[in-house]
Structure 1
Amino acid sequence: MVSIDLSNPAVQSYILYSGILGLKLLSVTVLTTRVRMAKKVFANEEDAKKTKGKVKYDDPDVERVRRAHLNDLENIPAFWVLGALYLTTSPAAAWATLLFRVYTVGRVLHTIVYAVKPLPQPARGIAFGIPYLITLYMGVKVVMHYISAL
C-alpha cells in the first residue's frame, strides 16, 4: 500500500501548487464577472435588468474569458488527479516540484495571454502546451510505474 507523507517536500509542493491553481480557477470566475459588468453584457435577463445591461451570448470579450475558464476546467482537474497519482510513484522531490511549478506558471500565463492581455500565437500555444505535456508525462509515469508493479 502506498502512503503519502505530508512532510515529503514533493507532497507539500503538490499541495501548494494545487492551492494556487484552485485560487486561479476562482479568479477567472471573477474576471468573467468583471468583463460582463464593464461591458454590461449578461447571459440572464434578471442580471441585465438589474444593471441596465443587455442579454447577449456572443460578446467576443466575454466569450474569450469564458473559453479560458473552460480550458482551465478541462485541464486543471486532470493535473490534480494525475499529480496526486504521480506522487504515489515516489518521484524525486526536486523534479516533482519543478513539474508542479512549471505547470502552474504555464496555466497562469495561459490565462494572461488568452484572456487578460491577448497575445498572438505562439504565446497561448506554448502556455497551453508545456503544462499539457507535463500532465501527459505524469500520467505516463503513473501507468508505467503500476504496469511494472503487476
Structure 2
Amino acid sequence: MMAEFMRGHDENFRVFAWWSVVLVLKIFGSVGLVGFWRHYKKIFLSPEDAKFIKGSKVVYDDPDVERCRRAHLNDLENILPWAISTAFWLTTSPDPSTAAFLIKTFAISRFIHTIVYAVVVVRQPARFLAFMVGLLITIYQCLATAYYYS
C-alpha cells in the first residue's frame, strides 16, 4: 500500500527523501564540529576522555564547544519533528512545486541557522529568523495535515 502511494507521489517523495538525508548528514556534521572544537582545544566532558589526549582537561562550559553543541541540539529538536510532520503532510498530496519549495526552504533555513550560530557567529536576529522560517514551515505543514484529515 505504501509503495502504491509513493508511486503516485514520486516527485514529492524524491525531494523529501533527498533533503531529509542531507539534513541527517548535516546533523552528523554538527557532531563533527563539536568534536573538532573539543580536540582542538583539548577539552572534554569526562576525565577518561581527557586522558586520551595528553594535555587535555575537563571543561563543561567552553563557549565555542557549547555554541556548536547547542546548534546540534537545536537541529535535533527541529529536524526530527519536521521530518515526521512532512512525511504525514505529503500524504495530503500537496502541489509538487509547493512541496519542493517548503522542503528546500526548511533545509536551507537549518543550514543558515547552524552557520550563523556555530560557524560564523552573526548577531541576532539572523539566527532567530532562520529558526522561525523552519518553525513556521513545520507548523504550516502540521496545520495543513490536521485540516486535511479533520
Band the TM-score falls in, shorter-chain normalisation:
over 0.9
Q: Percent identity?
A: 42
Kindly report which structure 2 residues correspond to 1:15-34, keeping only aligned pairs within 5 A, or say none.
15-34=17-36
How much has 1:46 moved relative to structure 2?
1.6
**Counterpart code for 1:11:** F
In structure 2, how many angstroms separate the alpha carbons of the residues matched to 1:120 and 1:60?
15
User: What aligned pairs does 1:16-55 form with structure 2 within 5 A after superposition?
Assistant: 16-51=18-53, 52-55=55-58
Deviates more, 1:133-142 or 1:38-47: 38-47
One-letter amino acid of the counterpart of residue 109, structure 1: I
Residue in structure 2 matching 1:118, options 121, 125, 144: 121
Match of 1:142 in 2: 145
Shift of residue 60 of structure 1? 1.0
Question: How many residues are matched?
Answer: 147
Number of the residue aligned with 1:56: 59
Moved over 3 A (4+): none
Selected match of 1:81 from 84, 88, 98: 84
CA distance in structure 2 between the aligned counterparts of 1:48 and 1:106, rounded to whole angstroms: 35
Aligned-partner Cα distance in 1 for 2:144–2:8: 21
| TM-score (structure 2 length as normaliser) | 0.94
Distance 1:5 1:28 in 2: 34
- RMSD of aligned residue pairs (Cα, Å): 1.3
* TM-score, normalised with respect to structure 1: 0.94
> Which amino acid in structure 1 is aligned with residue 73 of structure 2?
L
